[in-house]
Structure 1
């Protein structure tokens, strides 16, 4: 018989997925700061300093087309983690649907190789490219060259790019804290001892946890008995930390944090002999094992996940539109989705498996496209390194 403890411990193998997501999103937060921009290429200038805020309005109307005929590309860091693989795979699907060539490059963490690959995309007339962070400072000059040549560049970094794709970490934290607050009020008569596992070592993820602290700090009956930095380099750190916490505070009611460390904490609770059903666990980032536990019902109440399959598919659709001279968003917010029931998880998994349908029918669930930019207006990209 497979125990919940055994499943939770095995789920720690998913830490690579969560950490990859966290590392990706350290550079894609609207809370991020400047990154020493070395100067803009002459063709696209310095961009604009006004952050797009109006909803994107799609249109079939086309203007001047860019002089680029090499199709779409995804410049990947690695592909053996599903976050990266799903993005590239889905962008390739959109390229095929549009009748465009699709190129995938893989740097495997090597900045020099990544720059060489980006230069190859530049020389091969690629019309739109999704560029993952490898070394942002090293990438920036060739990204500028791609933009200057007329290509659309989509990034999860702080810029420059035609369309940054970013996450609002503070908003994610507020949503998690609100779910915790509602649980405390409805199930615990307004009183709870809470443990937080944070990622404060990642500056652009920290606002997520600051928001959680702020919301919970406003609840008079809630006591944060431990606020622990998750040691992502140690797969057992969550188990060890939670075991120590329970020795001092055996009456913990709620655990909050990224899914892998929360799953590890759940395993520690079970190992301690405490019935985990007397507690509630709230995670983030959509670890598959967490989804299974939430769908079963029980102490794991919710997680908040990004859908990178639809991120890649949207980049492919908008890249194809750019090549045709149509207007695309100039900023896209990546939304974290609350997954707190079997039905919600079933829909999420279906949308990951079929991003084309999700894009057509449920885009606003996962992405918030804002502003507008085309090849004709390519100098009007928003550079978040500029003052807002």
Structure 2
């Protein structure tokens, strides 16, 4: 199946050279043919995480990685322990998607103290506690605030009713995408007085929890006509809950979301979902490229921002074959 690798943003900061690369005390990385690379995945309970992990596995051979991959099964504490184990195994580089912003700070700090260049992937940590370019090399990922804003803008432009009653299904509490997708959407939607967010509750980025939360919120707010989910898995769960309650997603309830999964694109094609903003999981090639740039002595911009597309009924069918 054809897959679209993550593209670098056209607004990337210019590159420098070795003298600047380690000016802030970042550990150097020697250029060599093979590297022992740690990839500490947070969980594998949804298609997005599975696709991300596979992207790293698929990239390993071509990039010269001896890959040590772990799965924290949704536990921040285990993810920290996984990183500590990788440090003990002598990894050269660490790629870490931190489950939550604060609990993974110790892992980042310990890798830095051990002289291991660390790249945060798809999620970041609390910037008040660990700084890109100082405590870790860089964050590779999307603009989560912008993703939320784009969903809000599409909702404002396409909602035809007089009053938008919104339920928001949030991602993992304390995670950077949940925090930023909430603020991006909430601030943008507040600019239009037609809309009101009547309830907001975490579904932990999980389909079944999204369904359960939606069932509960639907009882408390039967007049809901818009569901904003922080990811497609929760959106699909919400669709299931609405259909079980006799509602018609896409007709009497607008569903808007983020990720760009195959199931979400199919839901758009089927008329059950309005929009999903892409958040690609295929970080392997970008991780390889960025690591090699760093080893060559280039200054890595603190945020290696990736570009995201917007999928609607106009283009979902054109891209479903490359979705995951």
Q: TM-score, normalised by structure 1?
A: 0.60
TM-superposed CA distance for 1:271, in Å, is 3.4
SS in 2 for 1:308: coil
Aligned-partner SS, 2:165 = strand
Cα distance in 2 for partners of 1:243, 1:168 equals 33
| Unaligned 5+ runs, structure 2 | 1-9, 22-27
Structure 2 counterparts to residues 178-193 of structure 1, below 5 A: 178-184=153-159, 187-188=160-161, 191-193=162-164
| Structure with greater proportional helix content | 1
Structure 1 residues 342 and 255, CA, compared in 2 at 3 Å: closer, same or farther?
same
Quick one: distance in 2 between partners of 1:153 and 1:230? 29
Q: d(CA) in 2 for partners of 1:261 and 1:282?
A: 11
What is the TM-score of this pair, normalised by structure 2?
0.70
Map 1:166-185; keep pairs closer than 5 Å.
166-184=141-159
Q: Is the 8 A contact 1:242 1:265 kept in 2?
A: no
Which structure 2 residues correspond to residues 105-254 of structure 1 after superposition, within 5 A? 105-106=69-70, 108=72, 109=75, 110=78, 111-122=80-91, 126=92, 128-133=93-98, 135-146=103-114, 148=115, 151-155=116-120, 156-158=123-125, 159=130, 160-184=135-159, 187-188=160-161, 191-199=162-170, 201-202=173-174, 204=176, 205-220=178-193, 222-224=194-196, 226-232=198-204, 234=209, 235-246=211-222, 249=223, 252-254=224-226
* CA–CA separation in structure 2 for the residues paired with 1:209 and 1:58: 32
**Counterpart of 1:300 in 2: which secondary structure?**
coil
Gaps of 5+ in 1: 1-52, 354-388
After superposition, give the CA deviation of every residue in 1:308-365 in whole Å (9 maximum; x if it has no partner): 21x2210112213333445544421244432213634643752x67xxxxxxxxxxxx
Q: Verify the 8 A CA contact 1:129 1:152 in the aligned structure 2.
A: yes
* Number of residues of Structure 1 aligned to a counterpart in Structure 2: 280
Mapped contact 1:75–1:106 kept (Cα < 8 A): yes
From the superposition, tell whether residues 274 and 132 of structure 1 become closer, same or farther in structure 2 (CA, over 3 Å). closer
Structural RMSD (CA): 3.5
Distance change (3 Å), C-alpha of 1:92 and 1:274 = closer
| CA–CA distance in structure 2, aligned partners of residues 67 and 225 of structure 1 | 51
Alpha-carbon distance in 1 for matches of 2:35, 2:299: 17
Q: Which has the higher contact order (CA 8 A, sep 6+)?
A: 1
Which position in structure 1 is the counterpart of 2:277? 304
Q: How does 1:286-297 map to 2 (within 5 A)?
A: 286-296=260-270
Partner SS state of residue 133, structure 1 = coil
Alpha-carbon distance in structure 1 between the residues aligned to 2:51 and 2:285: 9
1:139/1:228 CA distance change after superposition, 3 Å: closer
Deviations 1:48-77 (A, max 9, x none): xxxxx9624469x99998446451513223
**Aligned equivalents of 1:263, 1:83: Cα separation in 2:** 13
